[in-house]
Amino acid sequence: MERQKRILIILYGTGLLGYAWYPLHPVMHMLTPFVLFLSAGLALRETIQNHESEVSRSWNYKGIFLFIAVYVLSMLLEGIGVATGYPFGVYSYGPNMGVKIAGVPAVIGVNWIVLVYGWLLWGSRLFPNAFWVAALFSATMATLTDIFMEPVAVALNYWRWQSEFVPLQNYAAWFAASFLFAFLFRGMHRVSGELLRLYAILLLVYFVLFRFLVLPVLSMQHEVLTVADSMEVFRSFLNLINR
């Protein structure tokens, strides 16, 4: 477990450093979908193994089915969003997130799972006897992550909005969809899922640091950060994760 934690932290810490050097952006864009699939796979594999040991094997299979169901539902929702502008607003995905299905990168459905389920596991630890509160907590934290993710994703051309600013309906839709997906995971929220909980926090910390430490420098048209600036970004990342 400790080895897997270190892998996740190294992957995302390296991601911050890589994006801090503008000439490395093409390489980082190429690696991003693979890193997302790898890190999500590590976290979900550990969670599935916990299900197998903490609940019946039959429920473990049911859990895998729910992962697939949420993946399909989230991809359908995103596909509708790209095609119609509802419920998130008018947007489209750029070329930097890998293979697309009906205009939606295949990795997006995985991100919905790890964000919603990861924060649901945190909510279940904080509110062990109140599933509805845990689900609301999950939806709130997933939406908060998206708030910090949006400016980063737009700057890196992961996706773009038709309007100059992210529409408020996007965040309302994120909250509603996250709550629905959290509800679908009812009954799967009592396993420990330590690695997946770390991953949820890791994503939030990553986008917060990217938003406030990396984007300001890139927006000033500097081609690179200084070595000292880049290492400061990495140190800030490690300090927040180790708290």
At 25-77, the pLDDT tens digits run 888 888 888 999 988 888 887 776 665 554 455 556 777 888 899 999 999 99
Distance, in Å, from the CA atom of 107 to the CA atom of 124, rounded to the nearest integer, reads 26
Task: Return the structure tokens found at 68.
Answer: 């697939």
Whether the bond into 105 is cis, omega within 30 of 0: no
What residue segments make up the domains of the chain, in order of their start?
A: 2-242
Per-residue confidence band for 1, with pLDDT thresholds at 50, 70 and 90: low
Enter the pTM of the model. 0.85
Distance CA 18, CA 4 (A): 21
pLDDT > 70 in the chain, percent: 81
- Tokens, residue 26: 């093409």
d(CA 201, CA 207): 10
Task: Give the separation between CA 44 and CA 60, rounded to whole angstroms.
Answer: 12
pLDDT at 9: 87
Contact residues for 164 (Cβ-Cβ < 8 A; gap 6+):
none
Q: What's residue 91's pLDDT?
A: 97
Round the average pLDDT of the chain to a whole number and report it. 85
